């Protein structure tokens, strides 16, 4: 018994070290004065300063944030509708095909999604003249399509796990499906929709491959700029950028986790 516990404990230590040492090392080197990631020549914030003055990176970050905001919002709308259709509307024609198309984007390799969406946009342009040019709009459409699948998973998990007695009571009292969904179900799944939105937002912000396929020559998102820099080797200002992004996301996730933990504790102890 003791032997097994030691084994599990060392596996956990090894696993978490494996997950975190590269990130923490990268953050540490971002404060190094030297351009090289091999000799420590002293503490410096010069790479953060260089980052702040790099207009290409700032512009790309703003473009990425704009695309992420739009695509997360639409993905949440579509993903929530899809989750409601799958878990509240019973059988309908084409349900199997629908669930297949909803699950496949979760695992589909990005090169395939990117290539096929580009072919669609090029063909549509030839037939309808739309989209006139590729850029932020086409990237947003691509991101909505794969992010809505993630939102649907998060919201559907909530819909199937939650207690249905409130909805059933409202139905028994003569509520109509639309009214019950809007008045009862929606407020109950709102937290899941929010986590779905955040997930869609970060997925969009992070996507390199799909955006590379469907973007035009004038619009480079942040991952595209980062990729073109690091393909040539180590870039110290990318270390600084990584440190900034990891800190923001890390604090956000920790805050969300702490909030969830606190609410869960309140529910179990029955305190207000």
Comparison of 59 and 209: residue with beta carbon closer to another protein:
209
Q: Rank residues 111 and 169 by Cβ distance to another protein and give the closer one.
A: 111
Smaller CB separation from another protein, 111 or 190: 111
Give the shortest CB-259-to-another protein separation in angstroms. 12
Cα–Cα distance for residue pair 110/203, rounded to 1 Å? 12
Question: First CA to last CA across the chain, in angstroms?
Answer: 41
Smaller CB distance to another protein: residue 38 or 43?
38
In the chain, DSSP finds a helix count (H) and a strand count (E) of 12, 0
Written as one string, the DSSP assignment of 94-108 is: THHHHHHHHHHHHHS
Instruction: Report how far residue 71's alpha carbon sits from residue 147's, in angstroms, rounded to the nearest whole number.
Output: 8
Cβ–Cβ < 8 Å for 239, 30: yes
Residue whose CB is less far from another protein, 39 or 42: 39
Q: Which two tokens stand for residue 8?
A: 């599990």
We find the least distance from the C-beta atom of residue 155 to another protein, in angstroms, to be 11
State the nearest-atom distance from the C-beta of 19 to another protein, in Å.
6
| Residue 72 Cβ vs another protein, minimum distance, rounded to whole Å | 13
3-state secondary structure of 32: strand
Q: Kindly state the smallest distance separating residue 136's Cβ from another protein, in Å.
A: 16
């Amino acid at each position: 018994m003791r032997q097994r516990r030691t084994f599990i404990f060392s596996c956990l230590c090894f696993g978490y070290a494996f997950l975190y040492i590269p990130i923490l090392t990268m953050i540490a080197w971002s404060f190094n004065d030297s351009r090289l990631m091999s000799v420590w020549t002293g503490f410096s914030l010069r790479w953060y300063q260089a980052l702040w003055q790099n207009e290409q990176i700032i512009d790309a970050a703003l473009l990425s944030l704009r695309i992420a905001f739009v695509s997360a919002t639409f993905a949440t709308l579509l993903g929530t509708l899809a989750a409601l259709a799958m878990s509240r509307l019973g059988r309908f024609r084409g349900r199997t095909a629908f669930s297949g198309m909803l699950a496949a984007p979760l695992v589909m390799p990005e090169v395939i999604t990117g290539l096929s969406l580009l072919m669609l946009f090029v063909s549509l342009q030839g037939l309808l003249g739309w989209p006139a040019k590729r850029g932020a709009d086409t990237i947003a459409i691509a991101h909505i399509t794969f992010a809505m699948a993630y939102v649907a998973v998060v919201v559907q998990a909530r819909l199937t796990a939650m207690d249905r007695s409130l909805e059933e009571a409202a139905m028994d009292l003569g509520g109509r499906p639309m009214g019950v969904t809007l008045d009862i179900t929606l407020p109950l799944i709102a937290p899941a929709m929010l986590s779905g939105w955040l997930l869609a937002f970060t997925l969009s912000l992070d996507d390199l491959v799909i955006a590379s396929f469907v973007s035009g020559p004038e619009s480079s998102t942040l991952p595209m700029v980062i990729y073109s820099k690091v393909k040539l080797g180590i870039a110290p200002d990318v270390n600084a950028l990584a440190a900034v992004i990891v800190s923001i996301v890390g604090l956000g996730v920790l805050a969300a986790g702490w909030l969830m933990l606190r609410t869960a504790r309140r529910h179990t102890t029955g305190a207000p």
